[in-house]
Structures are given as C-alpha cells and as structure tokens.
C-alpha cells in the first residue's frame, strides 16, 4: 500500500501532538512515510517537533518526522497538508476577546468582533500556506482547521476557487460524540445525521441509527433538561467555560425545539447573558494558556529532557484528531464516508444564497466532498443565517478591498453588536491592536 507524506502546518500548535499520535495509530488504514512539521515561528515549533521525533523513534521507528520553517522543504513531495494556523498567536486572541468585552459585546475567538478581527488576520496566512502547497506539491490536498473557519472558507473560495482545500470544524463531531454518549451508543459513527448551517452556526434536523430509527426524541428529552452536559471524558471540556457552554445548549434548544443547535449559537442568541457572566480580565485565552498550552509544552520539554517518550504521553483520542484523519482516509481511499464539511452552497440549501459557504453532510471521496441536498430551511434559521453570512462576506470584501467602510458594516451587521456607534469604537481599537496583521484600511 502507498505510504503517505503529511505536512502539519502550524506545527507548533497545541493540537499537533494529538494529530500526529492519531496519524501514527491509524497506519493500518493510512500508512505513513513521513510527517513534516511546518511553522513560521521556529521557537514555538521546535519543542513540539523534537518531542514528537522522540515519541516516534520510541514507538514507530519506521516513520520519519522532520520539521522546518522553510516552505520548499516543508511542502515538496507531500500528499496532504493538515493546517491549524493561529495568526497572531494567543496574544492576539486575548485582544480579540478583551476589546469587545470593554464595550459589553461578546469577546470570542470565532464569533462577533473577535472572530472578525481573527478573520482579518487569518486570510493571508491560510492563502500563503495554500500557495506553498500548490507550488511544491500541486496534487496535494489541504485539510484546514485554521479559524475562523467560516471567514477563511469564504476567503479561500473567492481567492482560490479551484484549489484543493477543505475547510473543517470539529465542533459538530464533538457534539455528536456527546449525542452518542447520551444515547448509550459506542460511537457517533452509529448515527446518520442531517445538519445545516454556517460554520459555528448550525442545527441538526435529523439523527437516526443505521437502521433509520429516529433518535431525536430521546436526545431532545435529555437536552431539554441538561443541554449537552453529559458526563463524558472529553479532556478539553473539563474547563468550566466548556461546561457552561454545554449547559447553555438547553436555552438555545428552547428557542427552536424542532432542531438541535450548535453550541456557538449561544453567542448570537444570548449575547447579553454571555457578556454578563464573562470575567473580562480572565477570558478563554487565559484559561487555555493556563491549561492546554501549559500542559502540551511542559510534556514536550519533559520528553526532550528525558530523551524518552515511554512514560509521558499527550492526551489522545480527541474528535479533533480523528476527524481530520478520517477525512484524509476518505480522500486517499475514496471511502465515501459521510462527513460534515464547509462547502459552497450551490443549491444544497435551496432557499439560501448559492454563493454562501455552508456546513452540511457530504460524501467524501478522491475528488473531494459531494454535498447532500438539504432542501428548504425555515424562516428563523434562514433569517439568522442571511444576517451572519452577510457579516462574513463583508469581512472578506473589506480584506480584499482594504475597506474601512465594509468592515464597519460587517461589525454593525453582527447580531452580537448593538449599534453602528459601538461597532465603530470596537473597530478603531481593533485596527490599532492588529497593526500589520491587517491590510491597511482606507
Ligand atoms: N476548525 C476547528 O474546529 C478548530 C478546532 C480546534 C482548533 N482550531 C484552530 O486551530 C488553530 C490552532 O490552535 P491552537 O490553539 O493550537 O493555536 P497555537 O497558537 O498553539 O498554534 C498555532 C500555530 O500556528 C503558527 N502559525 C501562525 N501563523 C502561521 C503562518 N502564517 N504559517 C505557519 N504557521 C503559522 C503559530 O506559530 C503556532 O505555532 C487555531 O486557528 C484554532 O482556532 C480550529
Ligand atoms: O477555546 P479552545 O481553544 O479550547 O477551543 C476553541 C475551539 O473549540 C471547538 O473545538 C473543540 C472541540 O469542540 C473539542 O471536541 C475538542 O476537540 O477541542 C476543540 C478545542 O477545544 C471549535 O470547533 C473550534 O473551532 C475552536 O477553535
Ligand atoms: Mn470549529
């Protein structure tokens, strides 16, 4: 069987060890020749890369792990790029969260003004990596987690419409893992789902078992009382902020009991409540720095100092890592697995903008995703999505045209922002904070 070469772009990411471990563990279905780590920040990538080299040497000596900041070295002779860039690192994420909060507006990584600011930074980084891949390995596929996925997908679709990039999100699969636990199933793969929306802005309309039996009534009964607060072992969600998010799904569900909501809808539907409960001096960035980032780098340093990975391991088995490996397998071996991906609407939701990037079930094979028709959607969801997709499109317009006006309109249009006046104040502070990360706006 062919052995694959995979580049992990954003090699210094806190998610890199999990993805590498998942790749190594799945070689019976996806054999590896080499994993290359690429990052534009050598000192962030180095400890992760060196620790994973030791881990691989001790456990999978047949696979090579290399790392570099040189694009030619990193992108030549590869089959897949698995990308997870954070342009501006946690320092800028913290500003994305804290600046809007000063004005009592949602401060979040991918939603509202924080997501808009992050989008304005991410577009260039993602396009840069995509161009490297196409220059050095034109046949390769880029599987892209880099956030904010909705804005990044809109930008890549407009700027590189023919590129082999698939934008993805792990939130639906993480929630489906909870659904499976609630239903007493061993795996989310025992369910067939129908789901539609924008990234971090969608709804499940049907969940059945493989025999076609409706599982929604049992799920709804649970969610009406507890939201998504099921006792699972998902490491990421032990943080109090994630527990709060999962509980809040109960209130989001109450607004439309016909469907089950994505957790991120809380930022658009209960924005006042979210802001009221936020600690403006200690946001999610600070929590991540004190937990995931600290743990991952501490373990990397321990492995390097011990020159052994026998007794030290990273958290494994996350839906984040398994989803991207499943996607690579589906493309490599034409498995036709059904997966939720972000793709051009193009009639999939028949009463919605055909040019919008939507998140829907797709069958995935060697030519990429084939989306399944979702039909018409109700007025409530359609109205919300039209407003939100306009925000995302205006951000990409603003980035492409260097337009202050369009970005001000985008912020004003966001359901999280109360007025054009507040939008302008937040925008002016974000421009100052983002400096050269953003194009100059006129
Ligand atoms: N789509 C999803 O559902 C999903 C899920 C989880 C994480 N993410 C995203 O994954 C990314 C990584 O998250 P993290 O918390 O591990 O962040 P992180 O800061 O630990 O890692 C990001 C890495 O990207 C590197 N980087 C930044 N710009 C780059 C560029 N232009 N070229 C190469 N490397 C670059 C940084 O140096 C850093 O090492 C974020 O965008 C996050 O939002 C997405
Ligand atoms: O606040 P963070 O950095 O911990 O997470 C933000 C990301 O949250 C979602 O991804 C979760 C996922 O739901 C969970 O199962 C696990 O894999 O961890 C991920 C990170 O916590 C979301 O889908 C991403 O877009 C966010 O970046
Ligand atoms: Mn996501």
pLDDT > 90? residue 238: no
CB of 111 shorter than 6 A to ligand 2: no
CB of 318 shorter than 6 A to ligand 2: yes
- pLDDT in the model for residue 315: 77
In this prediction the pTM is: 0.98
β pairing state of 4-9 and 32-38:
parallel
Q: What is the mean pLDDT of residues 40-63?
A: 97
| Distance between Cα 72 and ligand 2 center (Å) | 30
pLDDT > 80? residue 316: no
Distance CA 60, CA 53 (A): 10
CB of 171 shorter than 6 A to ligand 2: yes
- pLDDT in the model for residue 318: 87
% the chain with pLDDT above 90: 94
Please name which of 17, 24, 322 lies closest in space to residue 177, comparing C-alpha atoms. Answer: 322
CA angle 151, 13, 132 (to 5 degrees): 65
Distance CA 95, CA 109 (A): 10
Q: Is 264 a catalytic residue?
A: yes
Q: Name the β-bridge partners of 344.
A: 357
| Peptide bond before residue 225 is cis, with ω within 30 degrees of 0 | no
Q: With bands split at pLDDT 50, 70 and 90, how would you rate the model's confidence at 23?
A: very high
ipTM greater than cut 0.90: yes
Record the tokens describing residue 127, joined without a space.
């396009």
Q: What is the mean pLDDT of residues 21-45?
A: 97
Q: Is 428 a catalytic residue?
A: no
- pLDDT in the model for residue 340: 98
368 phi, psi to nearest 5 deg:
105, -160
CB of 147 shorter than 6 A to ligand 2: yes
- pLDDT in the model for residue 314: 85
Q: Is residue 149 within 8 Å of 143, Cβ to Cβ?
A: no
Q: With bands split at pLDDT 50, 70 and 90, how would you rate the model's confidence at 147?
A: very high
- pLDDT in the model for residue 206: 98
pLDDT > 70? residue 236: no
Model pLDDT for residues 66-115, shown as the tens digit of each residue: 999 999 999 999 999 999 999 999 999 999 999 999 999 999 999 999 99
Distance CA 89, CA 417 (A): 25
Active-site residue identified among 67, 196, 264, 267: 264
Ligand nearest to the CA of 245: 2
């Amino acid at each position: 069987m062919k052995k694959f070469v995979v580049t992990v772009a954003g090699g210094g990411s806190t998610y890199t060890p999990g993805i590498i471990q998942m790749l190594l563990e799945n070689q019976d279905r996806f054999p590896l020749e080499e994993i290359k780590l690429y990052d534009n920040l050598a000192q962030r990538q180095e400890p992760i890369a060196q620790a994973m080299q030791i881990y691989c040497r001790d456990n999978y000596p047949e696979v090579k792990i290399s790392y570099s900041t040189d694009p030619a070295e990193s992108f030549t002779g590869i089959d897949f790029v698995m990308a997870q860039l954070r342009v501006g690192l946690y320092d800028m994420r913290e500003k994305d969260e804290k600046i809007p909060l000063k004005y009592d507006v949602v401060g979040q990584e991918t939603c509202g003004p924080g997501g808009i600011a992050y989008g304005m930074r991410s577009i260039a980084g993602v396009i840069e990596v995509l161009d490297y891949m196409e220059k050095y390995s034109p046949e390769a596929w880029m599987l892209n987690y880099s956030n904010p996925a909705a804005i990044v997908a809109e930008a890549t679709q407009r700027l590189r419409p023919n590129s082999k990039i698939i934008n993805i999100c792990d939130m639906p699969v993480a929630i489906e893992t909870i659904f499976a636990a609630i239903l007493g199933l061993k795996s989310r793969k025992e369910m067939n789902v129908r789901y539609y929306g924008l990234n971090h802005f969608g709804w499940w309309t049907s969940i059945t078992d493989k025999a076609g039996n409706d599982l929604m009534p049992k799920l709804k009964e649970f969610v009406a009382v507890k939201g998504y607060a099921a006792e699972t072992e998902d490491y990421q969600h032990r943080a109090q902020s994630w527990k709060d998010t999962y509980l809040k799904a109960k209130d989001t569900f109450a607004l439309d009991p016909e469907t089950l909501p994505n957790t991120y809808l809380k930022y658009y539907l209960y924005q006042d409540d979210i802001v009221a409960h936020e600690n403006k001096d200690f946001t999610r960035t600070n929590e991540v720095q004190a937990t995931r980032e600290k743990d991952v780098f501490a373990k990397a340093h321990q492995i390097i100092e011990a020159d052994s990975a026998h007794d030290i391991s990273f958290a494994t088995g996350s839906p984040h890592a398994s989803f991207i490996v499943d996607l690579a397998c589906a493309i490599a071996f034409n498995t036709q697995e059904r997966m939720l991906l972000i793709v051009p609407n193009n009639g999939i939701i028949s009463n919605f903008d055909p040019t919008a990037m939507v998140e829907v079930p797709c069958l995935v094979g060697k030519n990429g995703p084939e989306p399944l028709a979702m039909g018409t959607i109700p007025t409530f969801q359609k109205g919300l999505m039209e407003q939100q997709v306009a925000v995302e499109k205006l951000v990409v317009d603003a980035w492409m045209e260097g337009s202050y006006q369009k970005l001000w309109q985008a912020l004003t249009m966001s359901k999280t922002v109360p007025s054009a006046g507040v939008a302008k104040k937040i925008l002016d502070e974000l421009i100052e904070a983002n400096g050269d990360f953003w194009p100059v706006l006129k």
